[in-house]
């Protein structure tokens, strides 16, 4: 049984959105949860956040950044193609309640997966300030979608080519400097960005939730690949998370563990690119 790709949209260079036919997952999905997919028979299992779930049509939207073999391969597929495996929803849903004013920070793929979170926060009556960061202007995506569900959207670029120059934490700092009262912060994205956010909000004593992205295999608590340290305790991000109290997370360990297979990942990617070249030549 395959899982059909129904739609595909290029959001920006190296970032894509796909709508997948997966009725069981769609039916049970809640904000904050993720799926694990395999592109093909010999493929790796990779986790991706559920960016949207349409229960009626039985579809799940994923948004991904092409960073290595599997995500690049996924990006090459087209509507009508099928994914080999697609399982979920995994992980605990976000605890969404009325916090008051919430700042939701997204960087990299995190930007994309803010969508269901913000929608949920809004539905509970929060005032939502969305802060998203990109390297440069050309990489900006999804701002319209996010604006539609946020009360405010702030955009930063590393090079200042659009919005505020700097990182999402700079934008948050500015709001705090202006004396804005923020009751809760969510941060999703690369580890350094989440770590910087945690350091900042700790100073202001703002409760902060991060969504961790360690390497996973099964996603059901069976292997322990996804071990993270939270408050000095070992947790399995796939079943105890992926969301945790930012002020208790050992981000340094997470960064290190994410580098466990860098050598092999490079081999895999180069191998794949060589295969693609060969296929091109054959045509």
Ligand X SMILES: Cc1cc2nc3c(=O)[nH]c(=O)nc-3n(C[C@H](O)[C@H](O)[C@H](O)COP(=O)(O)OP(=O)(O)OC[C@H]3O[C@@H](n4cnc5c(N)ncnc54)[C@H](O)[C@@H]3O)c2cc1C
**Residue of 12, 14, 28, 152 that binds other proteins (CB under 8 A):** 28
Locate tokens 């939502």: which residue?
128
Question: Which partner from the list ligand FES, ligand X, other proteins, none does 48 bind, CB cut-off 5 to 8 Å by kind?
Answer: ligand X
Q: Is 228 exposed, middle or buried (0-12, 13-18, 19+ CB in 10 A)?
A: buried
Binding mask 203-222 for ligand X (x = CB under 6 A): ----------xxxx------
Nearer to ligand FES, 72 or 225 (CB): 225
CA-CA distance, 175 to 162, in Å (whole number)?
A: 18
The neighbour count for residue 227, using CB atoms within 10 Å, is 17
Is 265 near ligand X (CB under 6 A)?
yes
Site size toward other proteins, by CB under 8 A: 42
Residues 208 to 247: which contact ligand FES by CB under 6 A? 216-219, 221-226, 236, 238
* 258 lines the binding site for ligand FES (CB under 6 A): no
Q: Are 237 and 32 in contact (CB under 8 A)?
A: no
- Residue 15, both tokens: 């970032």
Encoded tokens for 224: 């322990």
| Nearest-angstrom CA–CA distance, 195 and 198 | 5
Question: Is residue 235 a contact point for ligand X (CB under 6 A)?
Answer: no
Instruction: Say if strands 59-65 and 82-83 run parallel, antiparallel, or are unpaired.
Output: unpaired
DSSP 130: E
Which residues, numbered 88-147, are part of the site for other proteins (CB under 8 A)? 88-90
What is the signed CA dihedral for 166, 191, 83, 86, rounded to 10 degrees? -130
Contacts with other proteins, residue ranges (CB under 8 A): 1, 24-25, 27-28, 38, 42-45, 69-70, 84-90, 217-218, 220-225, 227, 229, 234, 239, 253, 256-257, 259-261, 264-265, 267-268, 271
Contacts with ligand X, residue ranges (CB under 6 A): 34, 44, 46-49, 63-65, 67-71, 109, 113, 213-216, 242, 258, 262, 265, 269
Contacts with ligand FES, residue ranges (CB under 6 A): 216-219, 221-226, 236, 238
């Amino acid at each position: 049984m395959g899982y059909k790709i129904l739609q595909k949209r290029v959001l920006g260079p190296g970032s894509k959105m796909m709508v997948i036919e997966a009725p069981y997952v769609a039916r049970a999905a809640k904000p904050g949860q993720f799926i694990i997919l395999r592109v093909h028979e010999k493929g790796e299992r990779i986790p991706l956040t559920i960016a949207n779930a349409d229960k009626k049509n039985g579809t799940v939207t994923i948004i991904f950044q092409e960073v290595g073999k599997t995500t690049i391969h996924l990006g090459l597929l087209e509507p009508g193609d099928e994914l080999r495996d697609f399982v979920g929803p995994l992980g605990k849903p976000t605890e969404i309640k009325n916090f008051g004013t919430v700042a939701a920070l997204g960087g990299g793929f995190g930007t994309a997966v803010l969508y269901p979170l913000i929608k949920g926060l809004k539905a509970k009556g929060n005032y939502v300030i969305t802060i998203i960061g990109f390297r440069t202007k050309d990489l900006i995506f999804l701002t319209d979608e996010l604006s539609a569900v946020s009360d405010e959207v702030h955009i930063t670029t590393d090079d200042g080519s659009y919005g505020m120059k700097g990182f999402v934490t700079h934008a948050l700092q500015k709001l705090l400097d202006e004396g804005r009262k923020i009751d809760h912060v969510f941060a999703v994205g690369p580890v350094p960005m989440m770590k910087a956010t945690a350091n900042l909000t700790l100073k202001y004593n703002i409760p902060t939730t991060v969504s961790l992205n360690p390497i996973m295999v099964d996603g059901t608590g069976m292997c322990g690949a996804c071990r993270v340290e939270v408050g000095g305790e070992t947790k399995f991000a796939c079943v105890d998370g992926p969301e945790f109290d930012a002020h208790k997370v050992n981000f340094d360990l997470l960064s290190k563990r994410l580098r466990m297979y860098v050598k092999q990942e490079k081999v895999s990617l180069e191998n794949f690119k060589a295969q693609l070249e060969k296929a091109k030549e054959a045509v």
